[in-house]
Copies of this chain bind each other. A is one copy, B any other.
């Protein structure tokens, strides 16, 4: 079966698009830059949501819901925030359509809004305007709220999951009595994201801080996790912002402290989005299709029967019934693909394309021998194993695959993180090898911008585990206190 997927070597970007479409994850819609997330893709997103939501609740957060629309005037209240988002806003100006009398549906000009409404690109402003009503004294703090929602940023160049005009995400917005507490929250949520990326997505990430230039519009400090894709480009997989008192000041949100003083409230916000789907795909998949970490796979095990007669089929069915019951008892999700309209080879290719971690094939001869054929998606290795003890073996295999995928990605990242000591070397690595490039930088926005213009590489982050050391900026020769990570990025 030809799956019609371009190979990574041939055209990585086309490979990605092919995979998203052919594996039934998502497709473009009739609306510019907006995607349809198909059931198989959405099932993966739902698993991400469930796992993250549980962790948010375990760390004391509650979900809530705030309006989709934000009054235009709210954006003007925090100067850098509006600058960051104004150029990519969908604007609602009217609230009614009408028939123009010639059978055409047109906007009713009489139904013009007094103040335009912005479709939320992020919700700091509407939420802090709301928090003003919720906070009077230190007893009302902290507020630890998360929202699962859709947001819109009118991007000009879009790519499925990676950059779309509308996307799904969660945004946490917390309010605290002290800066220390807000910073601790910011750091805690970064660690929740990092742990999720590594232990669920099986994607190793660098935890770091953004430079001033790459910070969230309105933040004092942006923390991020950065992942490396197989083409050597980095992908920002999640961010957590310490917002200081910027939004509290913009929306006049004060509290009475224990000491009876009026003080501005401290804030954090943090989010991950359907972009994680892109990271997941590009970190692990291969030319045969998706490779899903077992913890996120909507189907963890597919079982394919091989038979000629109805009697053979009935024999296999009996075995599969028992196996399914055992696997379900272990909380493993299974698909028994006994469609009689497709041949086994077609099914193998289809489930390979969709990244199902483990495949069990069982035929008439297997039934005689008390065996099955067990195949793992990550290494594509097959082996004939005993039916006895199979469920336990599969359980162990799923765990092994989860670990193996992570280790493979980690190995790739290690091999593609290069320390350089000159601009020549920097450019050479970027061009010929890709990946993260670690080097000294003088700490100025000017240098960062110049490097971006000349090489398209940006500072992905100042790693949290970077050590303070004396060094020399490889771009300007000026003194530098620590190394940072550069990369070309999505």
Contact = CB atoms under 8 A, between A and B. Distances in A.
B63 A36 contact: no
Interface of A: 27, 29-31, 34-39, 42-43, 45-46, 62-76, 82, 86-99, 104-105, 107, 116-119, 126, 129-130, 133, 139, 145, 149-150, 152, 154, 166, 168, 341
B31 A71 contact: yes
A421 to B, nearest CB: 43
Copies, count: 2
B30 A126 contact: yes
A149 B37 CA distance: 13
B67 A35 contact: yes
B91 A64 contact: no
16 contacts: A29-B126, A31-B117, A36-B65, A39-B64, A42-B64, A43-B62, A45-B65, A68-B152, A69-B90, A76-B104, A86-B98, A88-B96, A89-B97, A91-B93, A92-B119, A139-B341
A90 B91 CA distance: 10
Contact of A65 (B72, B89, B92, B168): B168
Contacts of A62: 39, 42-43
A119 B118 contact: no
Contacts of A89: 95-97
Contacts of A64: 36-39, 42
Nearest to A132: B30
A477 to B, nearest CB: 38
A414 B29 CA distance: 49
A71 B145 contact: no
Contacts of A82: 97, 105
A243 to B, nearest CB: 19
Nearest to A67: B34
A67 B166 contact: yes
A159 to B, nearest CB: 16
B105 A95 contact: no
B105 A86 contact: yes
A69 B166 contact: yes
Contact of A93 (B72, B107, B149): B107
Contact of A91 (B45, B72, B92, B104): B92
